[in-house]
Amino acid sequence: MSYYDIDSILTDSQKLPCTFELEVPGLGILEGNAGEDIKAGTRIDLPLWLGEMLSIGARLGTSRLVTLDMPDALSERVMNALKADPRTLDLRALAPHFYNLSERILELFEEEEMVDVLTDTFKKRAAEIADHAHNSRGAVGDGVDFLRGLDETERQLFRAAHDRAKEMRIWSGEARRK
Amino acid sequence: MASSRDSPSDRAATMYGELGNKLVQHAKRTQSLAHLPPYQTEIVRAVTREVRDLDRDVTRLLEPFEGAFNPSADPAIACALLVDHLCMRRNKRCLLAYHRVRTEKLEELCWTGVDILEQQQHMDGTQTALGPNGHSSLSPEEEEYFRQYGDLLAAYKGQWTDVDLTGTLEPPKDLFIDVRVLKDAGEIQTEYGVINLTKNSQLYVRQGDVERLIAQGFLERLT
């Protein structure tokens, strides 16, 4: 999590539903109506970098500015699907940085069960990813749909596993460099 | 559910920080490319303009208070100020990250011995590490950075005359190789005397002597 880390910046741009607790003049631009006011109780999807600070800032001040909700990517429905079979879900469609997002969200919410579900998901999918990465048919065969649904972290994992397997073959003399 | 995402057609009401996001997506793509894509002058300019707009907004909000603003007395104004501040901070982060990804790429090119400025002058040549369009993919500042970083690297390398710091780490299989000269490079001094590199000539030379010239595109290795 470095300041300059591109993936962490992109993670912070993912949106989550926020509810404004007070009326703010001139902030309509967040809703797509520039120049208008925002009414108390308005629900808007705000990027994580904005919503997080607005909800935390409230704890230091007098009243709450904004309350956060779980993003759709981590809804009850998704959690149930992950519990049933983690391998069938298209995580990329839910959130391009799914695990990074959940990590950030779980800093803000107290959700013990979600931690377990996500850890289990990652483990099961990691095994599947390693399988595809070591299998030369992996990227063309029936695994296409699964591999297309990998989130960014998983993609990096796939690439690492794939490249390492190749380098191992070169090292042991089974394959030639390039 | 009302969402700002649902109105992308409304150009005037682009959510703050969205342009910065576009810039970071460019940076993400740059990371996985071998060459350096064109500098996004337009977006960079638009993001800095957005920061100026936000700053103006802050000044306007604070004007009536004449320096005696109390956040707890005016939570709505405080919230608007916070949003402005956060957007500026976000834009700053996006701008810095975008430029850092590019400068890192430039440094990498310096170390591998690719002279991107040289290649731009020889655009009509066969190999180009640049974008498809003819003009430079570097901003003027980046060109300056590249030049000065190259000078720094050369000065650093100059301290050790018997070791080539940017040389390849792979041990050579053959000490001598066949090369063909692609561009006139004049005379070069080697351990075994002077060799004259004239275009289209073919030579059998020590690999260590000509490695740099191959990387710079003066010579082509024959196998």
Look up the ipTM and state it: 0.83
Start-end of H helices in B32-187: 41-62, 75-112, 116-121, 140-157
pLDDT of residue B56: 93
Instruction: For an interface test with B, give the residue of A49, A55, A97, A152 to mutate (most B CBs within 10 A).
Output: A49
Question: Which one of B21, B72, B80 has the shortest CB-CB distance to A13?
Answer: B21
Evaluate if residue A173 carries a pLDDT over 70: yes
H/E element holding B215?
helix B207-215
DSSP state of B216: T
Cβ atoms within 10 Å of B122's Cβ, excluding its own: 13
Eight-state DSSP code of residue B168: -
Average pLDDT, chain B: 81
Instruction: Say yes or no to pLDDT of A151 above 80.
Output: yes
State how far residue B93 is from chain A, nearest Cα, in angstroms.
Answer: 7
Interatomic CA distance for residues A139 and A141, integer angstroms:
6
Residue of A nearest to B170 (CA): A177
CATH class for the region spanning A72-171: mainly alpha
Comma-separated ranges of CATH 1.20.58.2050 domains in chain A: 6-68, 72-171
- B186-190/B219-222 β-pairing: unpaired
Q: Note whether B13 contacts A33, CB cutoff 8 Å.
A: yes
Q: What is the distance, to the nearest Å, from the Cα of residue B169 to the centroid of all Cα atoms in its chain?
A: 25
* pLDDT on residue B43: 94
**Is a pLDDT exceeding 90 seen at residue B149?**
yes
Instruction: Locate B63 and state its tokens.
Output: 């004007």
In the predicted model, is pLDDT for residue A57 greater than 80? Answer: no
Q: Which of A12, A27, A34 sits opposite B83 (nearest CB)?
A: A27
A16: β partners: A46
B63: number of Cβ within 10 Å: 9
Q: What is the pLDDT of residues A7-54, one digit of tens each?
A: 999 999 998 898 888 788 777 777 766 667 788 888 888 899 988 888
pLDDT confidence band for B67 (50 / 70 / 90): confident
> Which CATH code for domain B12-157?
1.20.58.1030
pLDDT score, position A142: 64
Q: Please choose, from the candidates B164, B155, B153, the residue with its C-alpha nearest in 3D space to the C-alpha of residue B107.
A: B153
Task: State how far the alpha carbon of B198 is from the alpha carbons of A162, B118, B122, B138, in Å.
Answer: 45, 19, 18, 32
pLDDT of res. B133: 47
Which residues of chain A from 147 to 176 reach within 8 Å of chain B, CB to CB? none
pLDDT band at A159 (very low <50, low <70, confident <90, very high): very high
Under 8 Å between Cβ of A147 and A158 = yes
Would an 8 Å CB–CB cutoff place A27 in contact with chain B? yes
Count of other CB atoms within 10 angstroms of residue B69 = 14
Chain B residues in contact with chain A using a Cβ-Cβ cutoff of 8 Å: 1-7, 10, 12-13, 15-17, 21, 24-25, 27-28, 31, 57, 71-72, 75-80, 82-83, 86-87, 90, 93-94, 96-97, 100-101
CB contact under 8 A, B72 and A62: yes
Beta strands in A25-177 (DSSP E): 43-47, 66-68
Give the mean pLDDT of chain A: 84
Q: Rounded to whole angstroms, what are the CA distances from A172 to A119, A137, A165, A175?
A: 34, 21, 11, 8
Give the lowest-confidence range in B25-29, B58-62, B167-171: B167-171
Query: Which of A62-76, B23-37, B85-99 ranks highest by mean pLDDT?
Result: B85-99
What distance in Å separates residue B143's CA from the closest CA in chain A? 22
Give the model confidence (pLDDT) of B78-133 as tens digits. 888 888 999 999 999 999 999 999 999 999 988 887 777 766 655 544 444 444 44
Residue B7 has pLDDT above 50, yes or no: no
Q: Determine the pLDDT at residue B8.
A: 36
Question: What is the spatial distance between Cα A111 and Cα A90, in angstroms, rounded to a whole number?
Answer: 22
Q: How large a percentage of chain B has pLDDT more than 90?
A: 33
Query: What distance in Å separates the CA atoms of residue A72 and residue B119, rounded to the nearest whole number?
Result: 49
Task: Give the percent of chain B with pLDDT over 70.
Answer: 86
Span A138-158, mean pLDDT? 81
Q: How far is CA A40 from CA A37, A49, B111, in A?
A: 10, 21, 56
Report the pLDDT value the prediction gives residue B1, as an integer from 0 to 100: 34
* A67 has a pLDDT exceeding 70: yes
**From the CA of A175, how many Å to the nearest CA of chain B?**
17
Give Cα separations from B115 to B29, B35, B157, B218 (angstroms). 22, 12, 16, 12
Of A17, A33, A63, the CB nearest to B1: A17
Query: A132 with A150: CB under 8 angstroms?
Result: no
Class level of CATH domain A6-68? mainly alpha
